[in-house]
Chain A
């Protein structure tokens, strides 16, 4: 299925060659503005920091993080990472010298990629702002003028360090410190790009802000770092999409996303990730939700070789609510180890986790979740529902729900179900003229429908289309 042969992006053939993964093409870009050598050591970390012209505190932060990364063992749970070689990865690649504000100024090869992904078109139709990251750096950025006039900041994280140093330092790495886990430490050492968002008090943004992450190079590591601060009573919907070319060697995507949702604010973070099946996707995402606020993670995990991702919400003050809706699709050779964490630190907080996973063609999906209720966090409620659908006997699904409760006065519900795609359902639909592939795709679409209908129209359509692509060629 995968190949190293360069395929020109304008050649339609790649769509056929890569089977159902439609984003497997890559640009034959040789003119990188800067490319670090392969591997990871303090010298590389220093070089990245120097390239970016960072203040000393950040250089030191990176070096300290590298030491933490090196001192930590690989996790012995989750997925198989035995063929992930940290020295066989490029940690920093800069494709273009400048970040542009007009698509016309983005270098042609790169622009063509985003055209094929439909980003400029989506921007015109229904987005408030866009960031496009290509390998290590953001190459395009826009934000509607009226929003910037209201004080909204939507920039890349590198620029934020330069342009808003105080705001940056107040929050950066406070939600997820480098010592949180091995991959958070790795990201902290080599981070580059990502989105920085600040929504001022009371500002409600109607249309989503979107970031698009594209890995282009072989053996590339992408380590974006996103920080979102939603001030009191404000609201925002942020969407990220991710794709990569299909290569026979491994790529690594290890992001850190930190979010602060202040009193009475709302934040919805939607991910529609569709990595090619050579990408290790090891991501740490955490939000802190304050009084009467609402934080929602909507997480669509398609593709990748191994995804380990458990978006967390810490409910810090009374009235805070957290919700995670996640969909995982594990196809051939893929392992989705995904889930959610809800940490109730205050009384009268509530959380809900809905997780749906689909495994087919030998794919494996695991739900791994934690609900933790701290002492004195009285009158909390938490509701967890996870459903798995297994399409064939070669595929697999596991559930690892952890519940830690230090308080009596709480209500926790947990339901889990695993179903095999029903023969009777297939026959019923086929007896109405649907092919086996169409019938299974329809059953799968129906299975995730309760989640998909939570998405804005455009993303719901995108999600269904991606699932259909995954289901193509699934039978016969």
Chain B
């Protein structure tokens, strides 16, 4: 059976400020979706809300995985159900080694019934796997011993996100501008890497302002967000068109959403 991530009429606020105003989307395992939209339109907000960030409050609507309502679940429960977010801005965790962290994460996600304090996955098999994954992503094995994202360059952080994705093999992966801040070689490595990882077992939502990632991972669906709503849906051609021509025509076609976008943007300043 193909799993489905279903987002219905999702309204999300940060504090008192409403950011998302009724988002609908359905992602199946094996599909690639692109999410585009101007700065401040709410793309990252959707990503955080899906992953379960406690500061992003769902005020209306719901998020379901295979009919199970996950809207109220903590981030870790969602992760164990197969949700993954590659962060636009990965967080630095000083003193925590990549390998220690990932071994723990992998143990929890692969064995969702695991209780705190129970054994972790075998050291040897884990080490072998992480080495292979790092090689495939053209990463120095030394990274496994470094503190998580501490002192990493922008590009190294993004690669680390993809390594985590590779190790956790989620059913639904949201990539928030994973291709920003990468040099062109790195974009290729990451794009190819994702294409290999995705396959029929993964539903992917790619948030991007660039085209390379989508070239390697052509989307069946392109969603355009404006003012906290999905205002247009198309296929790969739509993504291509937006890259080439910008959002002016979209804004013109959706003056209400455009007004909303301007309002939220103004409030943020």
Residues of A within 8 A of B (CB): 422-425, 427-439, 442-443, 445-450, 472
Contact = CB atoms under 8 A, between A and B. Distances in A.
Given A431-B79, A436-B76, 4 more contacts: A423-B55, A431-B52, A431-B85, A432-B76
B54 A423 contact: yes
A436 B73 CA distance: 12
Contacts of B83: 431
B76 A443 contact: no
Interface of B: 51-55, 74-76, 78-80, 83-85, 87, 90-96, 100-102, 104-105, 108-109, 116, 147, 164, 168
Contact of B101 (A424, A427, A429): A429
B219 to A, nearest CB: 23
A18 to B, nearest CB: 17
A443 B101 CA distance: 10
A430 B101 contact: no
B93 A442 contact: yes
Of A427, A429, A439, A448, most B-chain CB atoms within 10 Å: A427
Given A429-B101, A434-B76, A442 B96 contact: yes
B157 to A, nearest CB: 11
Contact of A431 (B75, B95, B104, B147): B75
27 contacts: A424-B91, A428-B91, A430-B74, A431-B53, A431-B75, A431-B76, A431-B83, A431-B85, A432-B76, A433-B79, A433-B168, A434-B76, A434-B104, A435-B108, A435-B116, A437-B116, A438-B104, A438-B108, A439-B76, A442-B96, A445-B95, A446-B93, A446-B95, A446-B147, A448-B95, A450-B95, A472-B116
How would you classify the secondary structure of chain A's contact residues: helix, strand, loop or mixed?
Answer: helix
Contacts of B53: 427, 431
Contacts of B90: 428
Nearest to B111: A433
A433 B109 contact: yes
Nearest to A443: B93
Contacts of B91: 422, 424-425, 427-428
A472 B87 CA distance: 28
A446 B87 CA distance: 21
A437 B117 CA distance: 11
A97 to B, nearest CB: 41
Nearest to B74: A430
A439 B52 CA distance: 15
A435 B54 contact: no
A439 B87 CA distance: 17
A428 B91 CA distance: 7
Contacts of B79: 430-433
B93 A425 contact: yes
A449 B84 CA distance: 28
Given A423-B55, A425-B91, A428-B87, A433 B101 contact: no
Contact of B96 (A422, A424, A445): A445
A320 to B, nearest CB: 30
Nearest to A438: B116
Nearest to B104: A434
Q: Which 7 residue pairs spanning A and B have beta carbons closest together?
A: A446-B95, A449-B95, A446-B96, A433-B79, A428-B91, A433-B108, A432-B105
Given A423-B55, A427-B75, A434 B93 contact: no
A430 B95 contact: no
Contact of B93 (A428, A448, A450): A428
Nearest to A422: B91
A424 B51 CA distance: 13
A442 B101 contact: yes
A58 to B, nearest CB: 48
B76 A435 contact: yes
B109 A432 contact: yes
Given A427-B53, A427-B54, A445-B95, A432 B116 contact: no
